[in-house]
Amino acid sequence: MREDIILTMTDIIKRFPGVLALDNANLAVRKGEVHVLLGENGAGKSTLMKILAGAYTKDSGTIVFDGRQVDIGSPKQAEKMGISIIYQELNLIPALTVAENIFMGRHKMSGKIHINWNEMYDGAKKMLDDLEINIDPNAQIKRLGIAQQQMVEVAKALSINAKIIVMDEPTASLTTLEIEHLFKAIKKLQKNGVAIIYISHRLEEVKEIGDRSTIMRDGKTIAQVELADTSIDEIIKLMVGRELKEKFPKIKVGMGGERFRVENLSFGKLVRNISFSVRAGEILGIGGLMGAGRTETARAIFGLEEGVTGKVFVDGKERRIRSPRDAIAAGIGFATEDRKSEGLVLTMDVGNNISLAALNIFQKGGVHINLSEERKMIEDYIQKLNIRTPSSYQKVRNLSGGNQQKVVLAKWLMRDSSVFIFDEPTRGIDVNAKIEVYNLINKLISAGKAVVLISSELPELIGMCDRIAVMCLGEKTGELSRDEATQERVLQLATGGEK
């Protein structure tokens, strides 16, 4: 074995009921490298990392860490060994301070019972300063933005003297500038010999930050490549097992009349006097930087916020929306940005999540639900959307991110809404699952639905939308046709350039 190898995982097998999640998977990571773990949703990446972190127990295979063979029985054991994992859903306690989160479970003590608060805050400040992160150790986590919370997680990993840090989709909620800060911190960690296992579906950034990559498919290790010598098209082919000719399969449909209109929508300082309309068969994109008010606009439309003013029209009729129930009755479906907290009921099974918004269509006599008809329709949508699940009775929390997103979409498709609002529908899902989502959106506009697509990914907006409305600091700063839209033009409006 090479002396610079910090970790090898060899022939790892992991089974769940009805699923072979890992099929002799292999991974080798060098000290001080950024090793990118790639694969479609459900390829086995998260399962392999949870075995490394002690959250799952492998069925067979060997792990050699820092020169010795180990069995990792718990997250606490992994932490003591110097293995830290930063999950996509950050593992911080909002009500506690930055310093308390960094040293959670490992408080600096004076004697056996007293916490040495000064030493703890000084230690947290040193960690943050070493990473060149300007965050007050006394600040409550809930007062910080997502990017700052991400950096606190990095400092927390450093505080355990981590030799390996796993980062799962670390840039999913970050702006371009925040990503630059994160990459700077990663490079500093590399110089100190810390290995980074980096999971991301953003292949352009993977090429920028990564050294080598292990590519997985269907629980197996398909290849290990040097990223500098491998093109994005080659990576995609290894991930999905075939070439993808078109990343944004935009179709042209004959647009009809106006289906959806918003007039002078306002909600505090977050959304100010927003107006737009969408025709049948049209995709309207909403772009802007973090904090522009895009998600707040969608939530205000859907009745999730109080104190909203303005008018909403569906098919020419004004609809008074004060709650999600009103929005659903008006024919509006909303696939929220936070699918796990707001789009799904994780304790329920796949089938019940799909039919949740449409139970009334299965009611007989106003009370009883026709269960056989409901189940038949659920199975139909699982097949239509190619949702990969052992059965409709599988708990939705056990599905991959891409398949969870398809369950959210199936819920609103079953409801047969007139207007669909998608907030970051492809965040955290792989390139193949993205294309499946785009093709679902194509089916909607082919059926004459109106689609509002909110996205932080400019290529997605430009590739899929007929028009793009751009927001900055709660206001609409402009609107671009498909022919006018370029990344530079959208960014100019997103920074309030024309105003």
What are the tens digits of pLDDT across the range 147-159?
788 788 888 887 8
* pLDDT value for 318: 96
d(CA 70, CA 62): 8
SS (H, E, C) 193-250: CCEEEEECCCHHHHHHHCCEEEEEECCEEEEEEEHHHCCHHHHHHHHHCCCCCCCCCC
What are the tens digits of pLDDT across the range 57-92? 999 999 999 999 999 999 989 989 999 888 776 778
Contact (CB, 8 A) for 423 and 231: no
DSSP strand pairing (450-454 vs 283-287): parallel
Sequence-distant (≥ 6) Cβ neighbours of residue 425 within 8 angstroms: 335, 405, 409, 437, 441, 453, 455
Is residue 43 pLDDT above 90, yes or no?
no
Sequence-distant (≥ 6) Cβ neighbours of residue 62 within 8 angstroms: 8, 9, 10, 11, 69
- Give the architecture (CATH level 2) of 5-240: 3-Layer(aba) Sandwich (3.40)
Average per-residue pLDDT in the chain? 87
Helix (H/G/I), strand (E/B), else coil: 481: strand
What number of residues does the chain have?
499
What is the pLDDT confidence band of residue 245, given thresholds at 50, 70 and 90?
Answer: low
d(CA 114, CA 106): 13
Supply the angle between the helices 401-415 and 431-446 in degrees, to the nearest 10. 10
Where b means 16+ CB within 10 Å and e means fewer, 348-371 reads ebbbbbbbebbeeebeeeeeeeee
CATH of domain 258-494: 3.40.50.300
* pLDDT value for 366: 62
**Mean per-residue pLDDT for 414-438?**
85
Count Cα neighbours of 87 within 13 Å in the Cβ-side half-sphere: 11
Write out the residue limits of the CATH 3.40.50.300 domain(s) in the chain: 5-240, 258-494
What is the pLDDT confidence band of residue 445, given thresholds at 50, 70 and 90?
Answer: very high
* pLDDT value for 110: 64
Of 26, 82, 77, 39, the residue nearest 55 (C-alpha) = 77
SS (H, E, C) 305-366: CCCCEEEEEECCEEECCCCHHHHHHCCEEEECCCHHHHHCCCCCEHHHHHHHHHHHHHEECC
d(CA 123, CA 185): 18
d(CA 287, CA 296): 13
